[in-house]
Each structure stands twice: as structure tokens, then as C-alpha cells.
Amino acid sequence: MKNDSKKESPASGGSGEIKSKEKLMKFWRVDCRMFSRSVGFEMLNEDTLIKGTGLIIVAPPPGKRGFHDFPEAPKLLIDKRLGRPLRDMEIYTHYWLISPAAKSLFESLAKDAFAFCKCETQLPNGEQGPEYWLCDVLPTLDAVDEQASDLGIEIKGDFKFYRFTGGFDIRLRKEVVKNQKIFRLVYAEFFIICDDSFKVACKGIKGIHFSPLKK
């Protein structure tokens, strides 16, 4: 009996440890913390960037993520007269606008999950401004457990999308997420999710915001 007890103890402990790790796995919605004040920048060459794309704003190629082959670098005017100072992370159309500190951290956490495009920046007096990059989150996963989740699902012809009005409770399919630290939802590409380790690492990044997958 004693021998059997000793054999079962490690197995029992190991199982409990696995369950404990599963409970600790947390995921968050990640976006930019919004302010009522406008941000102090302007894209000077937006018309040039969208020329030939068929788009009316700077955005990813249809059905893809990342950037078009721009004819020139995005040119930002950074001017406090246009609004509040830029933080480490801001929103520009479909992209994040990020500082070198944010870029370095994102690359260290999940390098293959991001695409970056360096901007040329200038101040009102014509001098070069601080460094900023456009950033896009690339992975797009069909990761929602729709049976276990509480959210609106609409299907129009061949087009399916999620609605988040009126609250939601999103449960993820861990077998799809696997070790992906940050990703978009395939049926709601604006909805970006990260794991807990990504959230913790971003503690010093100004402008980034995390919220639960339940509202």
C-alpha cells in the first residue's frame, strides 16, 4: 500500500500543476487608450501613400495584413498645436503608430507577429522629429469557441462577422491559439487579443490599453 501511495503522489501533483497552469492562462483585448483630445500629428503624404491602391485611407491590402509597397515613406508632421503629445502608442487609421521603445519591446516578445513601416517625421520648423513607426499585428486566427462564447454572430451571404454591441464573453480555442502571444480574430480583425505575458511586459508602454474578454 505504501509503495502504491508513493507512486500515485507525483502523478496527482503533476496533474494538479497542469490544471493550475491552465487556470493561469489569461487573455486580454489590446488596443489604444483613447482620449477626448486629438493627437498632435498629421500624415502629410496620405494621398501619395494610397495612390493606386483603390483605397480612400491608408490601410492593409484587401484580404491581407501589413503594408502596401508605398512609393515613399509615410511623412508625419508632429505639432503640439494639433493636439496632445504623442505617447508610445497611438492609432492611425488601421494601424498603430508606435515609438522605438514599443517597437523594440514588441519585437522581443513576438517578432514574427508584427510588421513595421518607419515614418519620416518633422517638426513645424522643418527639423527632424522623434522616431515613430507604423505597426500592424499580422496573425489572424479563427480562435473563438463560438459554442462557449456569448457574442453576436452575423452571416450575410458568404460573409460572417462578430458583433460586440450589448456585451460579450469570449472563450478561446486553446488548440488554435497554441503559443501565439498576440493575434486578431478572423471574423473581427479590429479585435486584437494578447496573452497575459504580453500584457505584463507592456507595463511601461504609454498609450496601450488592456481589457478583459468579457464586457
What average pLDDT does the segment 152-157 reach?
94
Whether 70 is covered by a domain: the verdict is yes
In a domain, 162, yes or no: no
- Segment 25-40 shows an average pLDDT of 90
* Residue 35: per-residue pLDDT: 80
- For cell 504623442, the residue is 86
In a domain, 199, yes or no: yes
| CA distance linking residue 35 with residue 91, whole number of Å | 11
Domain containing residue 107? 28-142+169-211
Residue 5's pLDDT band, with cuts at 50, 70 and 90, is: very low
- In the predicted model, what is the mean pLDDT of the chain? 90
Answer whether residue 3 is part of any domain: no
Question: How far is CA 116 from each of CA 16, 137, 151, 187, rounded to the nearest angstrom?
Answer: 41, 9, 32, 23
Q: How many domains does the chain have?
A: 1
Q: How far apart are the first and last CA of the chain?
A: 51
Greater pLDDT, 9 or 127: 127
Sole residue written with cell 474578454: 213
CA distance 135 to 138: 9
CB 176 within 8 A of CB 184: no
In angstroms, the CA 88 to CA 8 distance is: 51
Residue 17 pLDDT level (bands cut at 50, 70, 90): very low
In this predicted model, what pLDDT tens digit does every residue of 67-106 receive, in sequence order?
999 999 999 999 999 999 999 999 999 999 999 999 999 9
Q: What are the b/e assignments for 19-28, b being 16+ CB within 10 Å? A: eeeeeeeebb
Give the whole-number percent of the chain exceeding pLDDT 70: 88
- Cell 498632435 locates to 40
Distance CA 208, CA 202 (A): 8
The rounded Cα 36 to chain-centroid distance in angstroms is 21
Beta bridge partners of 75: 120
Within-domain flag for 159? no
Tell me if 190 is assigned to some domain.
Answer: yes
Is there a domain that residue 150 lies in? no
When pLDDT is averaged across residues 98-119 and rounded to a whole number, the result is 98
